[in-house]
Amino acid sequence: MAAGVMVVVMMLVILAGSGGQVAANDTQNLNRLLNNQVIVSRQIMCVLEKSPCDQLGRQLKAALPEVIQRNCRNCSPQQAQNAQKLTNFLQTRYPEVWAMLIRKYGAV
């Protein structure tokens, strides 16, 4: 379960980072982060408010409502693509984490 939270965190960081601008290497960075269990676990615990957040976790928490409530409506095409990749990853590999995130961040 902890690994799924990190994925969400990275997604939000990519979505929220650089004033809405996504660097060309963000997809590579995203793939690398998704394969790092330590980072994924740390970020999952952060966004679920079960442990303190680092800068990445704070950015992820800020971006989650845009992704979950508004389906990334205000995202650039690259951000939306990254968000979809992360959403699919979570739904497939960590469905229980995804369900918790929907409950926590999906309320309007």
Q: Which pair of structure tokens corresponds to residue 100?
A: 């918790």
Quote the number of domains for the chain: 1
Domain containing 87 equals 2-105
- CATH classification at residue 92: 1.10.2080.10
* Cα(13)–Cα(35) distance, integer angstroms: 16
Nearest C-alpha neighbor of 90 from the set 62, 56, 53, 64: 64
Give the model confidence (pLDDT) of 58-67 as tens digits: 888 888 888 8
Sites in the chain below the pLDDT cut of 50: 1-6, 9, 16-24
pLDDT value at residue 52: 95
Q: Where are the alpha helices (DSSP H) in 17-94?
A: 26-34, 37-47, 55-69, 77-93
pLDDT value at residue 87: 84
